[in-house]
Structure 1
Amino acid sequence: MSNDTFGITAKRAALDIFLPDGRSIQAEILTSDTAERVLEVVSQKIGLCRELLGYFGLFLIRFCKEGKLSVMKKLADFELPYVSLRSSEVENCRVGLRKWYLDPSLDSMLMDCRAAVNLIYMQAIQDIEKEWAKPTQVQRQKLEALQKEDNQTKFLELSREVRHYGYLQLDPCTCDYPEPGCGAALSVGNNEISCCVTLPDNQTQDIIFQMSRVKCWQVTFLGTLLDMDGPQRTLNQNLELRFQYGVESHWQWFVIYTKQAFLLSSCLKKMISEKMIKLAAENPEMEIEVPEQGKSKKYHIEQSWSKHYSSFLSRKSKIKIAEADCVLETIKEEGL
């Protein structure tokens, strides 16, 4: 929720911001403070370097039974965490601080800041405990030994070798592939959508969608479709995200029915942005404009690169990636 939406009167308030290890930090804020401002307040309390704030974000997180958690939404910079939390209809919802990047190699950018290392170390432990990251038995034993030694650097180095490390896992949802009504467990990160599909005969199938082959996607509010029979009714999902994907020599639409469709959309945009920035650093001769949370940053990328990433870009010496080229949303994220 943004300040302009409600005309909020600024009042002093205390807001608990939860860390990945379960502890909370009480931030003294104004009710009209944006997520960007609240993040600055929290960073000062924990000693997080200001120049690293872009690697972290505030999220609405639902704490479920049996210690499980669900990331409901990434709060945009302009949103008001205090208002968003109190207007949420979700039970046991809190504001949490998590890293906000999906390329595990970006851990290396944070290693000189003690507070940043502490945060990503706590989140790595949490993700393994929640089984979002899936180490082998040998990896688990080594990680447990490093955790006992409190060797954060070595722990994070080994964690980057773990399957789905740094990915964001969504709640169980449904999809239309390989056939309508299949249950799905989605993890998003490292330039891919990893999907474990449960088939009608209860067998599972792992499917990987590479972001380099995603042409576009859209989020749609299903509304009255919930009154109809269909796969989206199975888990009472009222949002869908469909994406166009390159399969052999043609484009095919795939549909995911999930209440976290906007969060998933944010993750897809984040992965594209991170890929653009990395390629910009490697190829300084071509200009490219990458939108990120309403701000545009220009980079220069070599023309030959477009041959390898033509799924995202047209082959031009100067390329501007508009947000509309990457995502076509029937409902805007800013409206939630």
Structure 2
Amino acid sequence: MKLHFTIPVSERLRQTFGSRYVLYSLYLEGFLFCKVRYSQLHHWNDQLRRVFGSTVPAFPPKFYLAMTASMADERRSQLEEYLQNVTVDPSITNSDVFISFFRKLQQDTFKIQTQSASLDVYLADGRVIRLAIQTSDTAERVLEVVLYKMGLSRELMGYFSLFFLQDHSNGVLSVVKKVAEFELPYVSLQSMKELGCKIGIRKWYMDPSLDTMLMGCRAAVNLLYIQALQEIEKNWVKPTDGQMQKLELLQKEANKTKVVFLVQFLELVQEVQHYGYMQLDPCACDYPEVGCSATVHVGNKEISCCIKLPSNQTKEVSFKISRVRCWEVTFLGASTQPEDQGREQTLELRFEYCDSDSWRWIVFYTKQAFLLSSCFKKIISEQLIKTTKEDKEMQVEMPESLKSKKSRIQQSQIAWFDFIPRKRVLFRPSEEDNVFEKIREEDL
């Protein structure tokens, strides 16, 4: 699936000998990731083609005449699309040529050389694991070391991830973004210091039933348990009074380090509303009418919202992911000032939804739009994996006469997840304004 690479900002700079060049600010998940020149990307594309051949997407062509403003804008859009398309192939994103290129760019952009350093990774209960790392270590490597220190087997790494988190003075916890596997956590953390971010470890799956895959590992059970306690404390989940009493009793027993009560606690908490969901900060939305605000929980194949209407009435709404046809993230503003780059941007996520047998666009105005988009992708990928597994199991038991019928049913279900063709909408503001652009997701 494509990564959330965007290029909302570019700068025209002058070299030592007077010639000009364009420096593109490459954003990942809505935050400044690195800065790069066209020539660097061109050389990197040549390297990719030597390794992966024609599977690499076409690279934007060179201009042999002086670029006009419209040509520069076109190139920026083409480079953005190229970077999104090149990340579709996991064999490319997992390759040394991909990782080493972005490692160097990220370090050069923030002027951080490779050296020994310490990095704090926070657990959900507030404990800190301090790691001795290299500043050039990727998130995948850091996660591997953290889980090893906690006694969690490497085979279960895929169920967890590193995240940038914010603790607010009012006790609210915000998940800012998921750290990409090839990203350098130490470097990214330095670039996001003004936001007061820290790095935490959390489970990374949206289907609560996947907890069962981890029940055989004590370290994994502990991680799930302390995250569940945190989400109850932060009011991310909504236990009834009866559920809360039972959970508190099990928690007292679990605190005696008896793993059987940890498992029982997790089995019970799975029945609680919004368990295993990602909660976003309060945001604005246009459903069912313009001017609404919403608290959004996403997980378990739905977007569950508590919507406050302009009339101050509240409405509980569940948008089923199976009824979402496509979605897009839009930058509403990105600062061109160097001192502002890396700060959170103004974003919106809109999705096309089948509501009462008719299609309509629904918009959430949230700085966590890219995180919400990542959750969408995760839910769909988990559902497709589950569907494929079930399909293989049924192939063994199903008579030949029914297999073609099963295939047709499966295709009609998956069609809901198709993305309509990219149609780029480019706003052209005055020179004093920021650069705006709409980016449509076509990940699956």
TM-score, normalising length: structure 2 = 0.64
Contact 2:328 2:439 in 1 (8 A): no
Which of 93, 105, 116 is equivalent to 1:5? 105
Q: Give the corresponding residue for 1:162.
A: 272
Amino acid at match of 1:21: D
Q: CA separation in 2, counterparts of 1:39 and 1:31?
A: 14
SS in 1 for 2:231: helix
Q: 2:411 corresponds to which residue? A: 306
* Aligned partner of residue 205 in structure 2, secondary structure: coil
Is the 2:118–2:133 Cα contact (8 Å) retained in structure 1? yes
Aligned-partner Cα distance in 2 for 1:330–1:74: 22
> 1:131 corresponds to which residue?
235
Alignment pair present for 1:41 and 2:133: no
**AA partner of residue 312 (structure 1):** F
Rounded to whole Å, the distance in 2 between the matches of 1:159 and 1:130 is: 15
Residues 44-193 of structure 1 correspond to what in structure 2 (within 5 A)?
44-88=148-192, 90-150=194-254, 151-193=261-303
| Alignment partners' CA distance in 2, 1:302 and 1:137 | 45
- Cα distance in 1 for residues equivalent to 2:421 and 2:252: 48
Range moving further from structure 2, 158-167 or 194-203: 194-203
Preserved contact between residue 34 and residue 80 of structure 1 (Cα < 8 Å): yes
CA RMSD in angstroms comes to 2.6
Q: Give 1:3 shift.
A: 1.6
The C-alpha deviation readout for 1:244-266, integer Å capped at 9, x for no partner, is 00123321100000000000000
Q: 2-side partners of 1:309 and 1:247: how far apart?
A: 18
Aligned structure 1 segments of 4 or more residues deviating by more than 6 angstroms: 322-325
Structure 1 unmatched runs, 5+: 225-235, 287-300, 314-321
Partner of 1:17: 121
Q: Take 1:40 and 1:120, find their aligned partners in 2: how far apart are those partners?
A: 17
Give 1 or 2 for the bigger CA radius of gyration.
Answer: 2
Counterpart for residue 274 of structure 1 = 382
- The structure carrying a bigger helix percent of its residues is 2
Residue 302 (structure 1) shift: 4.0
| CA deviation after TM superposition for structure 1 residue 285, in Å | 8.2
Partner Cα distance (2:438, 2:161) in 1 = 25
State the distance in 2 between where 1:152 and 1:198 align: 36
Q: Distance in 2 between matches of 1:332 and 1:63?
A: 31
CA distance in 2, matches of 1:332, 1:80: 26
Aligned mates of 2:119, 2:387 — CA distance in 1: 39
**Alignment partners' CA distance in 1, 2:159 and 2:420:** 20
Aligned partners of 1:246, 1:306: CA distance in 2, in Å?
18
Give yes or no for contact 2:238–2:272 (8 Å, CA) kept in 1. yes
Question: Deviation of residue 91 (structure 1)?
Answer: 3.3
Give the aligned partner of residue 262 of structure 1. 370
Contact 1:237 1:258 in 2 (8 A): no
| TM-superposed deviation, 1:10 | 1.3
